[in-house]
Structure 1
Amino acid sequence: MTERDRERRVRELRARAQSIGGGVREADPAAVVGRVFAVQAQDAVAARLGIRARGSAIGPEAIRAAYEDERSIARGWFMRGTLHTVPAADVRWLLRLLAPRLLSTGERRYRELGLDATLRERADATLRRAVADHGPLTRAELTERLVPLGVDPVGQAAFHLIRHAALRGILVHGPERAGEATFVALGDWLPGSGEEPAPETAAAELARRYLRAYGPADVTDFAAWSGLPVGQARTAWRALAAAGATAAYQGLTALAGAGADDGSVTDGPDVRLLPAYDNYLTGYRSRALSVPAAHERAVWPGGGVLRPTVTVDGLAVGTWTRQVKAATAEVHVEPFEPLPAAVRAALAVETAAVRGFLRAE
């Protein structure tokens, strides 16, 4: 097998794992999030587009229902301290595993903002009472409750206190109100705990979920995606190997038995329009297998921006933009190079699906 063939095969397996290649599409939002474990969600519309791209005819209303009616998926700060949508049953153990480090690394920023430990405790109590008595509440409404504590309503102090309460398991994102996020009490919104890994095996479970959604990969990819220290990531990786849960694949690691045919088929190139900040493109330390080096700056122009991307069987072939006005929605694609006819045909179908989704938003 040549190096080019190896790269193509690894990319195809990753694309299938992420439900963006090989004809793989999940039936509903909960199935999508369950498969990929975490959808990057700092941009709420982009998160919905990311779920759409991995599903079969999933519309905005189905995604709203999964968040708000079924409560099968939930949005919060998890891997790397970034907003993600994850299975609701996994929220609590993820917070127990990840939040202590995130809170610790946030100490410097708390000091810069004048948010000492006493103020943070008072803010946690205030926010707990606010959502218990009046929730769901928007960020602005929660900020109003913090002002009597001496918190400046302008700037980042209130945001960091809200995030602090979320990391401590007090708040979680609730229903949207007129397109704006609200916060609710975690215990009220997601009362069921579900089956959770023991604390001593939680990091290994996170590694297992990662490999199922992103494999084949290596431990440095897992550390970069999760935000765990490399030492802890390596320990989790070794624990999976010791349990016989992993296998070597082309110099990388995969879950044992991964890559088997799951029955999905595709008659031609599998084209997807991935949103800005999509987890497929943020899930690895290196972008070499997913974005051609010559076009990397078109996808990552700098300043923390990650543009919406057109992929074919997991390989980026262009970028795209959306424009929504009233009842109309336009999608503009900028390919890196001229596209073959079969790709153009599949792209037309995918573009029409995105337009329909955006019109229904």
Structure 2
Amino acid sequence: MRALINLTLLALLAGAGYVALTQPDAPPLRLPWTQPEATDPARPDPPSPGTGGGPLQNLGDTALKAAVARNPVSIQALKAREYPGSALTVRQTLAAGGNYTRQVVSYQSEGLRINALLTVPRGTPPQGGWPAIVFNHGYIPPAEYRTTERYVAYQDAFARAGFVTLKSDYRGHGSSEGQALGGYDDPGYTVDVLNAAASLRRDPRVNPARLGLWGHSMGGQLSLKAMIVDPRLKAASLWAGVIASYDVLATDWNPPPGEQRTLDAVNRRYLRLLSPNAYLRELNGRPIQLHHGTNDRDVPYAFQKNLADDLRNAGQGVDAYRYDGDNHNLSGNLRTALNRSVQFFKENL
């Protein structure tokens, strides 16, 4: 069978975006579009089955779906894994926030020690435990990442409102174990997010039935994948997310000046099936909230529109907020966006 996805697409997406708090550089996005058994791209491809050498568009969805399921970043492959998490181990106690404690903790993800920043409200928890938010940061160069830096004001807003928050480093970031292989062409960060959620469920202070996700930029896509993989996650608020379908990312994300990227029909269908956007019906009505600025130079506002359209076409509700002229971090509307997210979680967790 034809090697469905050309190896030249590995370098197709040179993204300068998904930057957390105005980091100027990010590694290229290299999604593994090839099938695991893909042959040497220099060899001529045999005709597609049943086509007599005709157009590859005739290749059936069954073959494409089978190829997608073998891809480790696919929703199918992620669902086939287990996410036991672990007890949260305190590594360092930090200065408290206004009405909450702060600690650097660690948890286990595929045998790796992953550090995270945990906030817990002071006082008597509600019956069943505090609601909790898995907090998923955007791209920061892994060697520069520090557990206690970035997103402080964001976590503070949710902690003050009575939510436990856990901001995972992801593997290979700062002093966390493992290799940082990227959030798009490797499943590792998504696995870390799902194990972070499982670890929160083990904490006696947390209500395991009241877990949600907050994600920024790259963390937006990680959160979307996690929502689809784990039906126990109740709601997600995604800010400036890399949340367009993969076929849209392949053609519309930071092409070189004057270059128009195109995909043949097979590549487009494969990327669509690999994308979490193809599985939004599996949300089964669990709410999604979106925030994006129209002057975002790192992740286009059109990506929010793409996911919002996909959600509506899949029969899912969505609250999508547009911030005219604002940047990747919603700096001009930060308090408004945070207030909206806090209220969203109060209503849905």
Whether these two folds match at TM > 0.5 is: no
Task: Please state which band the TM-score falls in when normalised by the shorter chain.
Answer: under 0.3
More helix as a share of residues: 1
